[in-house]
Chain A
Amino acid sequence: MSKGGCLSAVYVIQGPNVTLPRPLTLSWVSRIVRAAPPAVDVGRRASNLCGINVEASPLERIKALNAIPFFFDVFAYGAIFVLVVLGLGVIASLMGIFNFAHGEFVLLGAYTVYWFDRSGMPVWLGMLAAPLVVGLVGLILERVAIRRFYAAPIVAMLGTYAIGLALREFVRSLLGGQFYSVVAPAVGSFDIGGVSISKWRTAVIVITLLVMVLSFLLLTRSKFGLQVRAALENPALARASGIATSRVYAITFAFGAALAGLAGALMVPIYALSADMGVPFLIKSFLAVLLGGMGSFEGSILGAALVGGTSAALPWAIKPVVADVVVFLIAIAIVKVRPEGLMSKRRS
């Protein structure tokens, strides 16, 4: 049996009768893939095309190429990223604060769900409660600490980092350093054309779209959104016009924190709950905000979709360890070309 062309760089296969990769004509996926150099070495030939028999019919090939899981994966991971970045983007773009405790707000949201689950209450109830709990934590933190940082963004980074570290180690002590699972409200998967699609990941995509639209409407169409934008654009004038800017900042921060809490709550059934669960998302989330453009809420979402999407897509074509670096390289290249970000509407 011969094996033809995709994903050749990613894995190696041993066997005496492996032919060289054959070009594929299917979708841009294969195009990325063909661009990657095949990992062929002595005695060990690169396999390709995900082990697909090239003698198979075109229809079978399409199925075997797994276009469905590929796009589903890109959307699902992109959605999780958007969800995480939403809160960070709100705080960064509307308040100019890079919240380094964002990963820990995500963690607190996840912990809330876990706590509900262990207390015998339904998981979905925990998911509803998580944004409220984390929003409240955010509100308290803003009143106690964050509001002192507005004048000094660099100090704010360090200050929020310290807060994050304290929160993370606190949760670690609660968990005893262990990892815990939470079962999703929707378990298992359904089949599309013989491909298994995770129910919960689908739900996350739908919820993310909803939250995205609602947040956008809130910030652009509501009175509160107007106050937020006014308070950012010209605090003095906003105050003169009767807007309690300090209160607006507090609510905005709490809103951003609540979004992070929701992200954590929806994520925890996909990942294990552990004190470090927010950490891998933090740096890439900042990258997403920079990529989208500071000062633009829509930009952050676009940036998140891009970073999340490429993070999920690249391992289909190249080694995951390399993919992680390439995501950053692509983002840095874009920021170099468009230093103001993809959708900069700096409101100043």
Chain B
Amino acid sequence: MSKQDSKKPQSESRREFLHRSGALAGMTALGAGSFLYNPTEARAADAIKVGIATDLTGPISWGGVPNSNVAKMVIDDLNAAGGLLGRPLQMVLEDTATNEQLAVTKVRKLVTQDKVDVVFGGITSSMRNAIKDTIVNRGKTLYLYPQLYEGKECTPFLYCTGPTPAQQCDTFIPWLIKNGGKKFYLPSADYVWPHTLNAYARKVIEKNGGEVVGEEYFPVDHNEYSATVNKIMSLGVNNVFNTTIPPGVAALFKQLYEAGFQKKGGRLSCVFYDENALSITPAHEIEGLATCLDFFHDAKDPGGTKIRAQYDKLYSAGKTQFTAGTAATGMWRAINLWAVAVKDAKSVKREEVAKALENAKLADGPGGPSEIVPGKRHTKMNMYIAVVKSGKYEVVEKSNGLVDPREC
């Protein structure tokens, strides 16, 4: 018998062994989850599972890290107050790593393996669009999205707790016309949020007697804006309503400053700019920049001030502050609104919580009270207009009551 022959049966039996042990492992894994225990009974005894899917790493980690921080803070608070329905909350955190394909796998794990009762997260619209189907349709799980965004998200069982274009533009653009002028230029990054926001902003600008003299889209990683700055200067633009994004936005603002845009009376505005964004450019380059968000440190509302103090105490070592532009305020609202709804529904079942969410209200929070608009799955909130003065925001106007998101 040759060496080859003697090896053959051995290798076959090894393969068989691998097959069998693989099958056994598979059965054990699946069995424990779905056959041995009755899920309803098993869950009744243990914690309510709260899934957080956000970008802890990768380019959007500036938003994901504070989001997970806030989620942990709020869930700890709820647990300290005895949990919900007499059950503790368990946070299941998944890093979606600014990668939509990976994120789909991660949220599938959340809804199928961890069987979470609700999912919070996503920062960019592309992320929300990538994961929503897995969560809401196939996963039959409730999903709350915290970030300011371009609107038009009307998927059932998906609730948005960040500001919409209407909330960011309706009072802000008339203010810009009054405090800047009528000629607008819209330099923008080439993806869904700027396109949709600009379409809305253009309507508001024109309705208020302003005009858009330029609307220009750049690749998202663009960093050379001389041609645009030159056009802005020679057209005598009053308002640069910016939707280009970091890091390229730094080059645009610098070039505008160096061309003397503000010195000649121009007004810079950017609706995602919050306290964290102040580090992107030296303070003198964005003097006078105006923005409109649901919370500013300078808003000095009691709820927001208290939450921020708590956040700073817990995460003072971190680089990101508690701000609106990172979706941290939206995340705070999302979890608390959901908690109100769970208490109200006396259940964590999706349909029942969703029904209760329709009337969910928070008496206080970052920026003040907030409430879900019944049937619209979006959130009413206070909006503030703030202007950068010597590297700090000063709130110059607060909305007259809660502003309607005007979506769906």
Residues in A with CB closer than 8 Å to B61 are 172, 176-177
Residues in A with CB closer than 8 Å to B60 are 177
Residues in B with CB closer than 8 Å to A47 are 213, 235
User: Roughly how many angstroms separate A219 CA and B318 CA in the complex, as a whole number?
Assistant: 46
User: Roughly how many angstroms separate A98 CA and B41 CA in the complex, as a whole number?
Assistant: 59
Interface string of A170-195 (1 = CB under 8 A from B): 00100111111101000111000000
Binds A, one of B5-13, B80-88, B275-283, B392-400: B275-283
Interface size class of B (residues with CB under 8 A): 35 or more
Binds A, one of B109-117, B247-255, B287-295: B247-255
- B250 pairs with A181, CB closer than 8 A: yes
- B247 pairs with A277, CB closer than 8 A: yes
- A321 pairs with B218, CB closer than 8 A: yes
User: Roughly how many angstroms separate A36 CA and B246 CA in the complex, as a whole number?
Assistant: 30
Partner of A179, one of B206, B213, B280: B280
- For the complex, is B90 an interface residue (Cβ under 8 Å from A)? no
Binds A, one of B45-53, B151-159, B222-230, B378-386: B222-230
- B319 pairs with A175, CB closer than 8 A: yes
Interface size class of A (residues with CB under 8 A): 35 or more
Tell me the smallest distance from the CB of B398 to a CB of chain A, in Å: 28
Residues in A with CB closer than 8 Å to B259 are 189, 196
Tell me the smallest distance from the CB of A60 to a CB of chain B, in Å: 12
Interface string of A62-75 (1 = CB under 8 A from B): 00101001101100
- For the complex, is B236 an interface residue (Cβ under 8 Å from A)? yes
User: Roughly how many angstroms separate A325 CA and B145 CA in the complex, as a whole number?
Assistant: 34
Tell me the smallest distance from the CB of A280 to a CB of chain B, in Å: 4
Interface string of A255-273 (1 = CB under 8 A from B): 0000000000000001111
- A312 pairs with B226, CB closer than 8 A: yes
Give A69's nearest chain B residue, CB to CB: B230
Interface string of B207-223 (1 = CB under 8 A from A): 00001111111110111
Q: Which of B219, B230, B255 has the most CB of A within 10 A?
A: B230
- A12 pairs with B319, CB closer than 8 A: no
- B234 pairs with A64, CB closer than 8 A: yes
Residues in A with CB closer than 8 Å to B39 are none
Residues in A with CB closer than 8 Å to B221 are 276, 279-280
- A51 pairs with B235, CB closer than 8 A: yes
User: Roughly how many angstroms separate A320 CA and B206 CA in the complex, as a whole number?
Assistant: 25
- A176 pairs with B226, CB closer than 8 A: no
Tell me the smallest distance from the CB of B144 to a CB of chain A, in Å: 22
- For the complex, is B65 an interface residue (Cβ under 8 Å from A)? yes
User: Roughly how many angstroms separate A277 CA and B250 CA in the complex, as a whole number?
Assistant: 11
Indicate whether A73 sits within 8 Å of B219 (C-beta atoms), given known contacts A13-B213, A179-B246: no
Tell me the smallest distance from the CB of B348 to a CB of chain A, in Å: 32
- For the complex, is A55 an interface residue (Cβ under 8 Å from B)? no
Partner of A312, one of B224, B260, B276, B280: B224
- A51 pairs with B236, CB closer than 8 A: yes
- A13 pairs with B214, CB closer than 8 A: yes
- For the complex, is B57 an interface residue (Cβ under 8 Å from A)? yes
- B227 pairs with A316, CB closer than 8 A: yes
- B214 pairs with A11, CB closer than 8 A: yes
Indicate whether A178 sits within 8 Å of B62 (C-beta atoms), given known contacts A66-B234, A270-B254: yes
Residues in B with CB closer than 8 Å to A7 are 227, 231
Indicate whether A320 sits within 8 Å of B222 (C-beta atoms), given known contacts A13-B213, A70-B230: yes
Indicate whether A181 sits within 8 Å of B319 (C-beta atoms), given known contacts A50-B235, A271-B247, A319-B216: no
Tell me the smallest distance from the CB of B188 to a CB of chain A, in Å: 10
Tell me the smallest distance from the CB of A71 to a CB of chain B, in Å: 10
- For the complex, is A324 an interface residue (Cβ under 8 Å from B)? yes
Give A191's nearest chain B residue, CB to CB: B260
- B212 pairs with A14, CB closer than 8 A: yes
User: Roughly how many angstroms separate A175 CA and B282 CA in the complex, as a whole number?
Assistant: 17
* Chain B binding surface SS class: mixed
- B219 pairs with A324, CB closer than 8 A: yes
- For the complex, is A232 an interface residue (Cβ under 8 Å from B)? no
- For the complex, is B258 an interface residue (Cβ under 8 Å from A)? yes
User: Roughly how many angstroms separate A10 CA and B227 CA in the complex, as a whole number?
Assistant: 10
Partner of B280, one of A181, A183, A196, A315: A181
Interface string of A1-31 (1 = CB under 8 A from B): 0000001001111110000000000000000
- For the complex, is B100 an interface residue (Cβ under 8 Å from A)? no
Residues in B with CB closer than 8 Å to A50 are 230-231, 234-235
- For the complex, is B33 an interface residue (Cβ under 8 Å from A)? no
- For the complex, is B404 an interface residue (Cβ under 8 Å from A)? no
Indicate whether A11 sits within 8 Å of B216 (C-beta atoms), given known contacts A69-B226, A188-B258: yes
Residues in B with CB closer than 8 Å to A70 are 226-227, 230
Tell me the smallest distance from the CB of A180 to a CB of chain B, in Å: 5
- For the complex, is B22 an interface residue (Cβ under 8 Å from A)? no
User: Roughly how many angstroms separate A70 CA and B277 CA in the complex, as a whole number?
Assistant: 30
- For the complex, is B262 an interface residue (Cβ under 8 Å from A)? no
Tell me the smallest distance from the CB of B204 to a CB of chain A, in Å: 15
Residues in B with CB closer than 8 Å to A277 are 247
> From residue 320 to 343 of chain A, which have CB atoms closer than 8 A to chain B?
320-321, 324
Give B216's nearest chain A residue, CB to CB: A11
- A181 pairs with B279, CB closer than 8 A: yes
> From residue 46 to 65 of chain A, which have CB atoms closer than 8 A to chain B?
47, 50-52, 64
- For the complex, is A311 an interface residue (Cβ under 8 Å from B)? yes
Contacts A179-B246, A196-B259 known; 17 new A-B pairs at CB < 8 A: A7-B231, A10-B214, A10-B216, A11-B214, A15-B211, A47-B235, A64-B234, A70-B226, A73-B227, A73-B230, A178-B279, A178-B320, A179-B280, A272-B250, A276-B247, A320-B216, A321-B217
- Top-8 shortest CB links A-B: A176-B319, A177-B61, A272-B250, A73-B226, A11-B214, A280-B221, A316-B227, A177-B62
Q: Which residues of A contact B (CB under 8 A)?
A: 7, 10-15, 47, 50-52, 64, 66, 69-70, 72-73, 76-77, 169, 172, 175-181, 183, 187-189, 196, 198, 270-277, 279-280, 311-312, 315-316, 319-321, 324
Q: Can you name 24 A-B pairs with beta carbons within 8 Å? A: A7-B227, A10-B231, A13-B214, A14-B211, A47-B235, A51-B235, A70-B226, A70-B230, A73-B224, A73-B226, A176-B320, A177-B62, A178-B279, A179-B280, A180-B279, A181-B250, A181-B285, A189-B260, A196-B259, A270-B251, A271-B248, A271-B250, A312-B226, A316-B227
